Structure 1
Amino acid sequence: MPFIWLAYFFPLAALALGLAVSVLPVPFTGGLSFIETVLLIGTSFAAVHHAEGISSRIGQPFGTLILTLSVTVIEVSVLVAMMLNGENNPGVGREAVLSTVMFVCTGVVGACLLVGALRHREQEVRQQGVNGYLSVIIAISVLCLLLPQNTHAGLMGAVDPFQISFIMCGTVVLYGAFLFMQTVRHRADFMPEASEPAPARPRRLVVHIPLLLAALGGIVLVSSGVAAGVEELLDRLHLRDPDAVISAAVVAMLLLPETITAIRAARANDLQRSINTALGSALATIGLTMPAMVAISVWVDRPIYLGIEPEDRVQLLLVLVLSIVSFGTGRTNLLNGFVHLVLFAIYVMTLFVP
């Protein structure tokens, strides 16, 4: 493949620069932040490449699980760096989770359904597997983004640490239960028809595994510089809701490799793998990213906001209901893709004109 060497260069370069900035007294500059941002984007693609290499050798659904968990590690590291950068940014976590659900369930899913329908007219997915994704996504989205603001404490404008901790434990339990069903109890519901696990090839795994770990480590190390640079850039734009735009920009950047993977799978008439990748990333984010950020905020004694704005509530509930309808028959077509993409365009508009 052309430029395959970049999958080896970016992880090592990001890791080296991250270690250098951590050890040496390097002053923060716009140029350094730009370099770190380029390395982060390139390393994200490299991480997805190596995760896919592992995926192709260990088979589904474990391969998709590795891919989504890798992206979750990347997202948590960047968002935590943004939350802790300078003054506290307590709204970054909730905006990132909301952006991930909206981007995936409208933009990514819509693009996959549209591309797949244009090439194959109609496509099929295993309805039981998709229902599993959606049921947990709906439950966790409501618990994390809607419930905290509608409890007695939330209505009084306070945050009850016990309530939040209990809700976060519940989200982790739900995600763990889903993983058990996906990887052990009902694996067939998440696999394409007549799909067989690929045999392992130790020599290639020996290459992909350390480079994936190097990529994730490099991203963790350069994420603080990227967060500072993104916030400094967007602060100059005087946006009405900077936290929402910053979180959406980071989510869009980090979801780009998975988006490309999902669209390619849909175009190749493998909609099941496409949906596994798309919905898996959304579920991993709300099931793991939010609890991780809440735990870190408690650990460093910084506040974090969970409730979302009224217009965001309407859009979130709309896209969750639409997702149930779109996959309700197990068959998708062009109209499904158009509806999701229109909602995505409206969501992006409300980021800049809330």
Structure 2
Amino acid sequence: MPLFTPEVLLPVTALLLGIVLHLAHAQIANLPTFAEVAISLGILGLVFWTVFVALHHAEAIAHKVGEPFGTLVLTTAVTAIEVSVIVSVMLHGTPNPAIARESVFSTVMIVCAGVVGLALLLGGLRHHHQEHKREGTNALLAVIIALSILVLVLPNFTLTTAPGAFSPPQLLFVSGLCLLLYVGFVFAQTSRHREDFVDDLVAIETEGHPKPAGLVRSFVLLGIGLIGIVVLAEHVAAVLETGLEAIHSQQTDAIVGAFIATLVLLPETMAAIRAAMRNELQRSLNIALGSACATIGLTVPVVAAASVITGHPLVLGLGPGDSVLLLLALAVSMVSFGSGRTTALTGFVHLTVFLAYILLIALP
């Protein structure tokens, strides 16, 4: 790969700019509002472009290491971005106890309703109907349901603390359960039940083909790009949060959480849609649903540890309206994948739930 190409220059540029912004934070904060907004918009454009380059390197790694390990690399990398941004925003300025809840909830809704819906709709329109492995998909859904209810619903019914929050021992215990459940899922996906998560056609096509060279380079550039995205996204999210607070928005946490989730899910969204368009539905679902599993299973333990160490409060329980939307998205997902076959109509149903989620952010 030549040195002076977007695949090389963009990750390096994002990292260097992120370091400069971090060092010059005080000077940038003293700029006029319009100048800070203009800089943030330019940074946001660079972040989006770098995200797609990161996706290119992640897909190259996925091709080289095979499935489902390639999908696992992508989901873990994207989750690392989200964890870093959430912790940064949570600890930025005034303590924000609800930002982790909103980010995790937004991720589940965007994945289970938006990304899955779009992938099923576009894949169904091109291929009429698509097949997936119920064993693998049901395992993914079981993990997502257990994690979502434990983290986002159960805190509303505990008695030790105020509704919506766990006590420190409860928080550590639930965080340990989340991590343990995710590790168990990864073990099943990569070894014990690997065949449940691999499309038969993909397995046949890739079997016996030599692995292309350049694996180490792709890993290095992916890591550089992800670190750059994290640092730049922290700056944009902080500016967005400050701006929403300045105009006294009632949905500051929900909007910032949705922004973080949307930004970090871009690579997986594109990868899931591309896989569905190639009629690789199981890989598409592995990417999309696997990101939700990784987000809860890895984000919650890290955020919980940060909360306990720093003493910042953490609110995880959803309100009544969001709880209904969460349960609706999970129930629709269970029904959609029960038969092993999906169509464009299946995707349209998921997108309907996603539009309801968007509506309640705009008009709570």
TM-score category, normalised to shorter length: over 0.9
Do residues 225 (structure 1) and 235 (structure 2) align?
Answer: yes
Match of 1:342 in 2: 352
Q: Can you give the 5+ residue segments of structure 1 that lack an aligned partner in the other structure?
A: none
- What is the aligned partner in structure 1 of residue 183 from structure 2? 176
SS at match of 1:152: coil
SS at match of 1:86: coil
Query: Per the alignment, in what secondary structure is the counterpart of residue 140 of structure 1?
Result: helix
Secondary structure of the corresponding residue to residue 88 of structure 1? coil
Aligned to 1:321: 331
Change (3 A) 1:82 1:155: closer
Q: Identify the residue that residue 19 of structure 2 maps to in structure 1.
A: 19
Deviating runs (4+, > 4 A) in structure 1? 23-26, 154-158
State how far apart, in whole Å, the 2-side matches of 1:22 and 1:14 are: 12
Q: Answer yes or no: is the 8 Å Cα contact 1:15–1:217 preserved in 2.
A: yes
Q: How far does the alpha carbon of each residue in 1:242-294 deviate from its partner, in whole angstroms, 9 at most, with x for none?
A: 10111112211221221111111111111111111110111110111122111
Identity of aligned residues (%): 46
CA displacement 1:1-41 (0-9 Å, x = unmatched): 9xx93222221011112223344576124144334333332
What is the rounded CA distance, in whole Å, between the counterparts of 2:160 and 2:251 in structure 1? Answer: 25
| 1:138 matched residue in structure 2 | 145
SS at match of 2:93: coil
Quote how far apart the aligned CAs of 1:222 are: 2.7
The answer (yes or no) to whether the contact 1:7–1:45 under 8 Å persists in 2 is no
Q: Aligned residue for 2:285?
A: 275
8 Å CA contact 2:58–2:70 kept in 1: the answer is yes
- Maintained 8 Å contact 1:146/1:308: yes
Separation (CA, whole Å) in 1 of partners of 2:24 and 2:245: 28
The SS at the match of 2:200 is coil
The within-5 A match list for 1:158-197 is 159-194=166-201, 195=203, 196=206
Distance in structure 2 (CA, Å) of the matches to 1:301 and 1:283: 26
Normalised by the length of structure 1, the TM-score is 0.94
Determine the structure 2 residue equivalent to 1:151: 158
Tell me the CA shift for residue 227 of structure 1: 2.1
Of 40, 61, 71, which residue of structure 2 is paired with 1:64? 71
Q: 1:301 to 1:199 in 2, by over 3 A?
A: farther
Which stretch shifts more, 56-65 or 329-338?
A: 329-338
Distance 1:237 1:106 in 2: 30
Cα distance in 1 between the residues matched to 2:231 and 2:265: 19
Give the structure 1 partner of residue 105 of structure 2: 98
2:295 counterpart (285, 290, 313): 285
Instruction: Check whether the contact 2:237–2:256 (CA below 8 A) recurs between aligned residues.
Output: no
Look up the match of 2:258.
Answer: 248
Q: Distance in 2 between matches of 1:305 and 1:21?
A: 30
1:200 to 2:211 alignment: yes
Distance 2:248 2:6 in 1: 36
CA contact 2:79–2:295 (8 Å) conserved in 1 = yes
Q: TM-score, normalized by length of structure 2?
A: 0.91
Alignment counterpart, residue 331 of structure 1, candidates 341, 346, 359 = 341
TM-superposition CA deviations, 1:213-262 (whole Å, max 9, x none): 11122223333322222213333554322101111122112212211111
* Shift in Å, 1:155: 5.7
Paired with 1:328 and 1:157, the residues of 2 have a C-alpha distance of 32
SS in 2 for 1:27: helix
SS of 1:153's equivalent? coil
The 3 A distance-change label for structure 1 pair 157 and 148 is closer
Shift of 1:43: 2.3
What is aligned with 1:214? 224
Query: Contact between 2:112 and 2:329, CA under 8 Å: does it hold in 1?
Result: yes
Query: Deviation at 1:333?
Result: 1.0
In the TM superposition, residue 200 of structure 1 has moved relative to its aligned partner by: 2.8
Q: Does 302-311 or 42-51 show the bigger shift?
A: 42-51
1:305 and 2:312 matched: no
RMSD over equivalenced CA pairs, Å: 1.9
- Map of 1:44 onto structure 2: 51
Q: Could you say which residue in structure 1 is the equivalent of 2:33?
A: none
> What residue ranges of structure 2 are gaps of 5+ in the alignment?
30-35
